[in-house]
Structure 1
Amino acid sequence: MIKRLWHGWTTHENADLYFNVLTTQVIPGIEAKAIPGYLGIEVLRRELEDEIEFVTIMSFRSLDDIIAFQGADYQKCYVPEAAQRVLKRWDQTAQHYELKESRNHA
């Protein structure tokens, strides 16, 4: 499994608006593409002194599946216009990690 990590930052005032855009437009848009090998997405949020950081972690079966989602330049970030309007800044590329082990104790 491959994890695709991306970071975006917004103001305290725009944090809830960005989360709403992410969960009602961006993620459903990704899921509507029915990408083979796409396994899901996690959204993390961290309050900082002067901004809010969001991290998305998308899970794919393989790097080939990420290339099917993003194209040959698969490290390029995917930030739709609606999200760009409420973000302060964001990673221009995503990082990709091979999941070697996962232990859940929920």
Structure 2
Amino acid sequence: MIIREWRGRAARSNPDAYPDHFRSKVTTELGALPGFLGAHLFRQYLGGTIEFLVLTEWQSMDAIRAFAGEDAGKAIVEAEGVSALVDFDSRVQHYETIDEI
């Protein structure tokens, strides 16, 4: 299994826009993709912003490339997600699961 990690930041005055987008659009679209196994959304408050951490689970890097394209490290952020954030990572990280408890 591969974990894909991405982070975005929103203003504290706009705490619900990205989670709403994530629940209504991101999870629905990802859920339809072959090789997609699940997603987790986390948040932490950092001064004047809220940072969201998104971890998605995939069967393989091939499944990720089918979603993201040949440059699998490029973040895929839809316009609605961009408008909910003040900034976000343009690149993602991938981690191979080596143990699970």
Length-normalised TM-score, structure 2? 0.94
- Which residue does the alignment assign to 2:84? 86
- Say what the alpha-carbon RMSD is for the aligned residues: 1.0
Instruction: Report SS of the residue matched to 1:15.
Output: coil
Structure 2: which 5+ residue stretches go unaligned? none
Deviations 1:23-48 (A, max 9, x none): 112221222xx222110101111111
Q: Which runs of 4+ in 1 moved over 3 A?
A: none
Query: How many residues were matched structurally?
Result: 101
- Which residue does the alignment assign to 2:23? 23
Q: Which amino acid aligns with 1:95?
A: Q
Instruction: Report SS of the residue matched to 1:93.
Output: coil
Cα distance between partner residues in 1 of 2:21 and 2:33:
21
Deviations 1:30-88 (A, max 9, x none): 22xx2221101011111111100001000011111101111101111111001111100
Alignment of structure 1 residues 60-99 onto 2, 5 Å: 60-99=58-97
Preserved contact between residue 6 and residue 92 of structure 2 (Cα < 8 Å) = yes
Preserved contact between residue 36 and residue 57 of structure 2 (Cα < 8 Å) = yes
Q: Which range moves more in the overlay, 4-13 or 20-29? A: 20-29
Q: Which range moves more in the overlay, 16-25 or 63-72? A: 16-25
- Which residue does the alignment assign to 1:46? 44
Instruction: Report SS of the residue matched to 2:16.
Output: helix
Cα distance between partner residues in 2 of 1:44 and 1:79:
17
> Percent sequence identity over matched residues?
34
Instruction: Report SS of the residue matched to 1:39.
Output: strand
Q: Which has the higher strand share?
A: 2
